[in-house]
Amino acid sequence: MNKITLLFLFLMIQISAQTGISVSPPRVYFESAAGSSNTQKITVTNVSAKNTLDLAVSLGDWDYDEKGENMMYAAGALKNSCASWINIKKDDNYFSLAPGERKELEVTLTSPKVNQDKLSAHTAVLFVSQMNPVDDVDNKGAKIKVSIRSGIKIFHRTLEPIKRKIEIQDLKFDSSKKLLNITFENQSEIWTDGKIITDIINTNTGKKITVEPIVFYTLPGNIRKVTIPVQDLTEKGSYNVSVLIDYGDNETLEMGELNFNYE
């Protein structure tokens, strides 16, 4: 019996260049007052070389775990869900795309006149799922059936100004594993994205260790635990670590420092 493989990504996906879909953009942002409607378009393309794809559109909820990985839920499961506010035209719920063909989906979001949950930010996810699995082979040459699902993250916020705040809660260095462990919380009422910039300096010699910035994404209330490898740390001595979380302009910066000895 052939295995059925379900692949899910928020990006363009292709399997052995035989079947795949792309969705653009992978994120859609709505900003509107209570009771108003906005419509945006999403382009779905069949990038398959030879397979016609039968596709279906559905909605769900999502969140991040503490490592920043996506977690999927049924539509309406989360308190910040806006899945019920979204409307897709009937003709766009089910459709077929020939190889190389594309289609524009109109996504309309109508926020309620009365915001019962009092939240400033809401999210949902729109899935485009392949309904006709196609034949392929895995990396061992075994025959499989491949079905693809791609998701577009949907964000909605109100028009009111919202102050953002990221706060570092913990900063530790694991010398045995050469890992810098950072815990921080998004205390904003809105999603907050940015990058973590880390500088490590040997206070005895002044030598600086370069660490690549790390990009992060958070939703309101998210606690994020980030592990930064510092494999270039080879010299024994005293070190100072400064961590800068940049999530906007000069007024939206969070900084933490740590001194440690590496022996």
pLDDT at 137: 67
Q: 92 and 131 share a domain?
A: yes
* End residue of a domain, out of 157, 184, 204: 157
Length of the chain: 263
pLDDT at 148: 87
pLDDT at 252: 78
Total of domains in the chain: 2
Q: Which CATH number goes with the domain that contains 61?
A: 2.60.40.10
Residue 263 lies inside a defined structural domain of this protein: no
In the block, which residue shows the tokens 């205390």? 187
Cα distance between residue 182 and residue 178, in whole Å = 13
Express the helix, strand and coil content of the chain in percent, nearest 5 each.
Answer: 0, 60, 40
Residue 11 lies inside a defined structural domain of this protein: no
Q: 87 and 108 share a domain?
A: yes
13 to 46, 63, 68, 106, 195: CA distances (angstroms):
10, 21, 21, 22, 26
Residue 202 lies inside a defined structural domain of this protein: yes
Cα distance between residue 161 and residue 212, in whole Å = 32
Residue 9 lies inside a defined structural domain of this protein: no
Rounded to an integer, what is the distance from CA 101 to the centroid of its chain? 27
Residues of the chain with pLDDT under 70: 1-19, 137-138, 250
> How confident is the prediction for the chain on average, in pLDDT?
89
Residue 174 lies inside a defined structural domain of this protein: yes
Cα distance between residue 218 and residue 59, in whole Å = 21
The one-character DSSP state at 219 is -
pLDDT at 18: 56
Spatial neighbors of 121 by CB under 8 A, at least 6 apart, are 80, 155, 156, 157, 158, 162, 189, 190, 191, 219, 220
Residue 14 lies inside a defined structural domain of this protein: no
Residue 143 lies inside a defined structural domain of this protein: yes
* End residue of a domain, out of 157, 182, 211: 157
Q: What is the pTM of this model?
A: 0.86
- Apex 242 CA angle, 166 and 162, nearest 5: 15
pLDDT at 139: 73
pLDDT at 138: 67
The one-character DSSP state at 11 is S
DSSP per position, 131-164: SS-EEEE-TTS-EEEEEEEEEEEEEEE-SS----
Note down the domain range covering 174.
Answer: 166-258
* The two three-digit tokens of residue 224, written as one number: 């994020």
The one-character DSSP state at 91 is G
* End residue of a domain, out of 157, 184, 211: 157
Instruction: Provide long-range contacts, Cβ within 8 A and 24+ apart, for 11-15.
Output: 11/150, 12/47, 12/150, 13/148, 13/150, 14/47, 15/136, 15/146, 15/148
Q: 220 and 131 share a domain?
A: no
pLDDT at 135: 72
Q: 30 and 106 share a domain?
A: yes
For 62, counting Cβ atoms within 10 Å of its Cβ (0-12 exposed, 13-18 middle, 19+ buried), the class is buried
Query: With the CA atoms of 110, 116, 122 and 127 taken in that order, what torsion angle do they form, in degrees rounded to the nearest 10?
Result: -60
